[in-house]
Amino acid sequence: MRAQAGDVITIDKATGKITKLGRAFTRARDYDATAPQTRFVQCPEGELQKRKEVVHTVTLHEIDVINSRTQGFLALFSGDTGEIKSEVRDQINTKVAEWREEGKAEIVPGVLFVDEVHMLDIECFSFLNRALENEMAPILVMATNRGITRIRGTNYSSPHGVPIDLLDRTVIISTRPYQESETKQILKIRCEEEDCEMADDALTVLTRIGMETSLRYAIQLITLASLVARKRGAAEIEIEDVKRVYSLFLDQSRSAQFLKDYQDQFMFSEIGKDLVGITPLASSVRNLNLLEYQSKELLDKHGVTVQKFKMAESAEQAKEAVKTFTPAEYVIKAQILAGGRGKGTFDNGFKGGVHLTKQAGDVPMLVSSMAGHRLVTKQTPKDGIMVRKVMVAESVDILRETYFCILMDREYNGPVVIASPDGGVDIEEVAEKTPERLRTVPIDIHEGLTEETARDLAAFLNFHGELQDKAAAEIQALYCLFLAVDATQVEINPLIETPQGQVVAVDAKIQFDDNAAFRQKEIFAMEDSSESDPREVEAAKHNLNYIGMDGNIGCLVNGAGLAMATMDIIKLHGGEPANFLDCGGGVQEEQVKSAFQLLTNDKNVKAILVNVFGGIVNCATIANGIVNASKSISLDLPLVVRLEGTNVNEARKILADSQLPIKTATDLDDAAMKAVASL
């Protein structure tokens, strides 16, 4: 029975049964529309034989929520936070204090749960420490999956990224991995929560997946497998449904292995590879890469000591080059933007893109064997890259190698120096095996890299005496270079000490901020696009991101993630994508036309699939671009279009009114099947 204020009820003392007698006369109102159907009775008088005590437990947050509800919708636009006023809070505090003295109220400390506690910075931890001193401090529960890591906002590391003084106040609960039976039970409960029916054998397979990968990944597969099952009209998830989503969606381990296996085929695969595994650094992806000799010319121009070298494009130029300096040994290097030169092979059969010789007379022969020929390495296309220039340099005697790098890091909001006395090796190995031999130093952009900091870094790199002064000078010169050329990374590996007491930058990698191209025109003019895919060069002119592939279905998609998913679905249905083409979020009709011209210029393309999800992108803009492009280039290839999102109805009308032979698709799966079937 539902009772409300003004109802007259009786409660049976023995059984507790509640009976509604009617409404009290004192609650009768003329405007009450239900009055004619309501029975009104007199309120009983006298003391109640039994009273019921009601205890309400509330928090100040709940009072804030109630208060915000009473303020109305317009309060959202007034900047009001919804909290109760300080006067009301004082009244509550006073009343609660009275109740506590009278024994009517008891304040229960709250529970503050902080997940991913390593994400807090030092100021948050200081606040928590101070709050825990309060008499009514909450029970603090913290969770993290980090080991020893840096405390955010400081240069210090500690267990879980939590300050030691706060850890000292905690009781640490150890956890253990779930057993197979526990994992299965959790997955079964999750299926019930998501209202999914799963066959026992499918649940067993999913449990095994969870044990081999992670419980979180297995839980995510439940929803996906349910969608697959529903699409085929089944009410229960079978083994095949689980297997399909497992093959479509990678877990973290398989994804990492995929990246390792196909690293050389990804865009910008060289960028930042020497810093893999170093935390917490994150380098931005940039487009411009310079050849080795160009980087050394920049170093030399800004006062950084490098080995002597000359450039040659022919045997005749090599003869002139060796006359300018006479080292004990020459090193001859083919200049291409790819690694593995030393073990590469030229199209004329000559082996090795890096050679050493003590005979000046051998240099012209080595140069002529490299210049004008294509060098094939593990990191080049199958037909290699044309070598147009060869560097003839003095071979430097190395007494000791160190590592030095300056990069722009988002987490520190400025430049960061990474240094290690162990150079000439993969720096990620140093970070993993001997992290104590790796130092990370944030640089204040207002102070710059001071002489004191430079000397400290030189000392850490084990330069002593006069060499320490020389190394400090080289470090400051590298920082000046970093600023002068708008670099995002300047990596010297190795920075060496010679037996003659010199500090020399032997190998350099410099990356640049492409947003600074307008003031670094001389540097960006150095870029060699002769070996780039002409389609990629043309696409870049129209702000399109294009990568050619070997398939026959041309793709036009907005967003890199959606573009990769589109290619995956095409392959799933037996097709082969001809390209990766991301038109971006600000695409205009003219760019759509340029994209169509790129696709149709590829003779391998036999069908075109357009897959656009309109968030920022206006689907009507895409539709107009498709229609205009199809008419202007007289498109005679099968065209499948799938559009969803902003102005999609208008876009569909534009396509329908065009009377072009366009096949529309309801979803990505449908679009891929139609594109493959049209071949």
Instruction: Enter the tokens of residue 119.
Output: 């994400």
Residue in the structure block whose two tokens are 């560097």: 391
Predicted TM-score (pTM) of this structure:
0.47
Residue 426: both structure tokens together: 């993969």
Q: How much is the pLDDT for 530? A: 64
Distance CA 597, CA 591 (A): 10
Does the annotation list 507 as a binding residue?
yes
Instruction: Give the CATH class of 400-525.
Output: alpha beta
Residues 675 and 553 sit within 8 Å (Cβ to Cβ) = yes
- Cβ burial 150-166 (10 Å sphere, 16+ → b, else e): bbbeeeeebebbbbeeb
pLDDT at residue 393, as a whole number: 94
Q: Coil, strand or helix: which one is 37?
A: helix
- What is the reported pLDDT for 229? 93
Residues in the chain predicted with pLDDT less than 50, given as ranges, are 73-79, 267-286
Max Cα-Cα span within the chain: 123
Instruction: State residue 340's pLDDT score.
Output: 81
Can you give the pLDDT at residue 56? 65
What confidence tens digit (pLDDT) does each residue in 137-151 have? 888 999 988 888 889
What are the boundaries of each domain within the chain?
1-52, 60-102, 111-168, 180-256, 310-383, 400-525, 534-677
pLDDT for 304 = 96
Task: State how far the Cα of 673 lies from the Cα of 668, in Å rounded to an integer.
Answer: 9
559: Cβ contacts below 8 Å, ≥ 6 apart:
582, 585, 613
153 is in an annotated binding site: no
> And the tokens for 146?
């980090």
Place of tokens 């010169």: 477
CA angle 491, 492, 497 (to 5 degrees): 160
The reply to whether 645 sits in an annotated binding site is no
Q: Please give the pLDDT value at position 284.
A: 34
Q: Domain spanning 180-256 has what CATH number?
A: 1.10.8.60
Structure confidence at residue 73 (pLDDT): 46
Q: In a 3-state reduction of DSSP, which class is residue 11?
A: strand
d(CA 548, CA 533): 8
Do 180-256 and 534-677 come out as alike in CATH topology? no
Q: Do 362 and 403 contact (CB within 8 A), yes or no? A: no
Reading the block at residue 106, the tokens are: 């008891």
Does 534-677 carry CATH code 3.40.50.261?
yes
- pLDDT score recorded for residue 266: 53
Q: By the 8 A CB rule, do 507 and 493 touch?
A: yes
Residue the block writes with tokens 């200049």: 335
pLDDT for 267 equals 47
396 is in an annotated binding site: yes
Tokens representing 407? 């990069």
Active-site annotation, residues: 403, 491
Binding residue per annotation — 618? no
Express the helix, strand and coil content of the chain in percent, nearest 5 each: 40, 20, 40
Q: Does residue 340 have a known ligand-binding role?
A: yes
Residue 1 vs residues 5, 9, 17, 197: alpha-carbon distances, Å: 13, 10, 10, 37
Q: Please say whether the beta carbons of 495 and 461 come within 8 A.
A: yes
Does residue 151 have a known ligand-binding role? Answer: no
pLDDT given for residue 277 in this prediction? 38
Residue 614, phi then psi, degrees to nearest 5 = -85, 100
| Residue 132 to residue 139: CA distance in whole angstroms | 9
pLDDT given at position 134: 78
